[in-house]
């Protein structure tokens, strides 16, 4: 049966073939099955997101336990991030070739095995290897989850269902250091990885029971081997070079970035000429709505993760707080985002992302401005309120912009679109982090003239010495936050091009999207 809803103010009529059983047309709610589906996806996604940051607070402990230099132990984090970057481009093809449910469960199993082995690691080298395995599984979890929800929700409910997935994406970077600090202080670092095991087992069981069984897997779908050999190492090289910015030598930064850009450029030319489906469908960017959503996601990723580097460092370096306390002081941002996301998703489905996202960015700018005025004794209450406002703004930006990217796509385009969006968000985050790291390093050198060793020396100095350089250090952080402010403002440019009306349907292949 085909259901319709009355024409909207643009005269469009939506065909409701993507309705779940029992859902009504028009401004639809989220039926129980779709909520269960979202729970499965969120449960799997939050493990992958937390593990990008939860290990950071244990780096020093790992170096001591394994008697390894910091440069080696740092690969526990870097190896995981590079594995994520390399495997994400394969996700779209893997979903089309083997089906979303099969690949989702496979990703969870790989992540679970990698977590268990990481907890049992006997050396720094074994831990790095197991983290890479963990990253191979974790890299596919988020884009596959987005594909599953995008197909199940349909365009009219995209904003609301994506807002559910956005909560762990914003809370993960904040909760990671807090949970990591609690585990390291109270137990052993091994439980940073072991804690994933029971969660992963539950996620696999739920996925086996709840995810749709009937999938249109294309068993003879060819892998774009040339594209894989260009894009995956290109992204890994680019992310690695950006991660070295502000702490590595010029050669260790610019050489991998140059190699990464060259390989990605070569892939783009290959994708435009390829006779088989390319690993990443670059032609999607010809669609204005998708291109605007993708660029907004890129700029948002840069603004979010760039500031996420600065915030805890200010609390630790200038104010002398512990890693655990710094993480707790960042909680208002996650709280603000979590509170507003459900409302932002509902309003996006009703009015379109083009009305919600720019407003959210303006609110985020208001919250960010206070951090451009940082001093050595700025009130924590003032900073908490500003961070809450910033979180409210970002809660109205993150998932509505992603929802806009999916709303006008046909169902076969969803897996490739999910891959593209996740790549842009990850690269955007790396660009933002690298940019503010370089700016902060230069600011500390120019403001605190007598501070030899820069940021690393400032973080290790005694409280009495820190008080002597607190003012110039605070000024350096405040000046750097202007760049975070600028990155947030930059996202307004593509955001104003997002659709300014409710979605009326695409994802248009016939057949049920969810099961009961």
State the pLDDT confidence band at 363, using cuts at 50, 70 and 90: very high
Of the chain, the percentage scoring pLDDT greater than 70 comes to 78
Question: What fold characterizes domain 284-509?
Answer: Growth Hormone; Chain: A; (1.20.1250)
Taking only the tens place, the pLDDT of each residue in 227-272 is 888 888 888 888 888 877 656 557 777 888 899 899 999 988 988 8
- What is the DSSP code string of 101-121? HHHHHHHHHHHHHHHHHHHT-
In the chain, CATH 1.20.1250.20 sits at: 29-217, 284-509
Residue range 44-53: average pLDDT?
Answer: 78
Q: What are phi and psi of 15, to 5 degrees?
A: -95, 130
Does residue 238 contact residue 118 with C-beta atoms inside 8 Å? no
3-state helix, strand, coil in the chain (%, to 5): 75, 0, 25
pLDDT the model gives residue 514: 36
Residue range 474-500: average pLDDT?
Answer: 89
User: Minimum mean pLDDT among 108-122, 362-376, 492-506: which range?
Assistant: 492-506
User: What is the distance between the alpha carbons of residues 103 and 97, in angstroms, rounded to a whole number?
Assistant: 9
State the pLDDT confidence band at 25, using cuts at 50, 70 and 90: very low
6: pLDDT strictly greater than 50: no
The owner of tokens 């939506």 is 14
**CATH number for the domain formed by residue range(s) 29-217:** 1.20.1250.20
pLDDT the model gives residue 47: 81
User: In whole numbers, what is the pLDDT of the chain averaged over residues?
Assistant: 77
Taking only the tens place, the pLDDT of each residue in 71-117 is 677 777 778 878 887 888 888 788 878 888 888 899 999 999 999 99
Residue range 274-293: average pLDDT?
Answer: 81
361: pLDDT strictly greater than 90: yes
State the pLDDT confidence band at 28, using cuts at 50, 70 and 90: very low
137: pLDDT strictly greater than 80: yes
- Evaluated on CA atoms 94, 418, 213, 38, the torsion sign reads positive
pLDDT the model gives residue 9: 34
pLDDT the model gives residue 330: 81
Helix and strand numbers, DSSP H then E, in the chain: 22, 0
443: pLDDT strictly greater than 80: yes
C-alpha separations of 224 from 85, 218, 416 in Å: 17, 14, 13
362: pLDDT strictly greater than 90: yes
Using the CB atoms, write b or e for 372-385: b if 16+ within 10 Å. Answer: eebebebeeeebbe
State the pLDDT confidence band at 221, using cuts at 50, 70 and 90: low
pLDDT the model gives residue 117: 93
The owner of tokens 């300014």 is 500
Burial class for 413, CB neighbours closer than 10 Å (0-12, 13-18, 19+): buried
DSSP letter assigned to residue 314: I
pLDDT the model gives residue 287: 81
């Amino acid at each position: 049966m085909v259901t319709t809803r009355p024409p909207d103010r643009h005269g469009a009529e939506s065909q409701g073939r993507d309705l779940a059983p029992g859902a009504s047309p028009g401004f639809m709610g989220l039926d129980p099955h779709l909520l269960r589906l979202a729970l499965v996806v969120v449960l799997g996604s939050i493990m992958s997101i937390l593990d990008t940051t939860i290990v950071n607070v244990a780096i020093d402990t790992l170096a001591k336990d394994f008697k390894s230099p910091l440069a080696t132990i740092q690969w526990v984090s870097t190896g995981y991030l590079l594995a994520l970057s390399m495997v994400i481009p394969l996700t779209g093809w893997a979903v089309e070739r083997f089906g979303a449910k099969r690949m989702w469960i496979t990703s969870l199993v790989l992540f679970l095995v990698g977590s268990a082995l990481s907890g049992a690691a006997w050396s720094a080298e074994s831990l790095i290897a197991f983290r890479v395995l963990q990253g191979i599984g974790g890299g596919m979890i988020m884009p596959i989850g987005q594909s599953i929800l995008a197909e199940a929700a349909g365009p009219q409910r995209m904003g609301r269902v994506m807002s559910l997935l956005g909560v762990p994406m914003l809370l993960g970077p904040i909760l990671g250091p807090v949970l990591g600090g609690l585990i390291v202080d109270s137990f052993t670092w091994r439980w940073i990885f072991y804690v994933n095991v029971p969660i992963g087992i539950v996620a696999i069981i739920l996925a086996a029971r709840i995810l749709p069984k009937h999938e249109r897997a294309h068993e003879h779908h060819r892998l774009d081997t040339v594209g894989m050999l260009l894009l995956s190492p290109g992204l890994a090289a680019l992310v690695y070079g950006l991660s070295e910015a502000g702490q590595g030598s010029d050669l260790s930064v610019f050489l991998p970035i140059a190699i990464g850009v060259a390989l990605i450029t070569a892939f783009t030319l290959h994708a435009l000429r390829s006779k088989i489906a390319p690993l990443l469908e670059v032609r999607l960017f010809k669609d204005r709505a998708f291109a605007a959503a993708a660029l907004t996601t890129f700029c948002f990723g840069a603004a979010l993760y760039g500031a996420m580097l600065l915030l805890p460092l200010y609390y630790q370096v200038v104010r002398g707080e512990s890693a655990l306390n710094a993480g707790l002081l960042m909680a208002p941002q996650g709280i603000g985002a979590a509170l507003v996301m459900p409302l932002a998703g509902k309003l996006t489905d009703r009015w379109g992302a083009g009305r919600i996202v720019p407003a959210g960015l303006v609110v985020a700018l208001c919250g960010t401005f206070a951090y451009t005025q940082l001093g050595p004794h700025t009130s924590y209450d003032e900073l908490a309120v500003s961070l809450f406002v910033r979180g409210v703004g970002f809660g109205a930006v993150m998932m509505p912009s992603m929802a806009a990217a999916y709303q006008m796509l046909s169902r076969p385009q969803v897996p490739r679109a999910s891959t593209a969006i996740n790549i842009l968000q990850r690269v955007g985050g790396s660009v933002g982090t690298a940019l503010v790291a370089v700016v902060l390093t230069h600011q500390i050198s120019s403001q605190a003239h007598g501070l030899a060793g820069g940021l690393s020396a400032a973080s290790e100095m005694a409280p009495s010495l820190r008080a002597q350089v607190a003012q110039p250090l605070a000024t350096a952080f405040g000046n750097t936050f202007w760049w975070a402010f600028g990155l947030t403002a930059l996202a307004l440019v593509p955001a104003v091009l997002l659709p300014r009306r409710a979605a009326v349907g695409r994802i248009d292949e016939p057949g049920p999207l969810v099961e009961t």
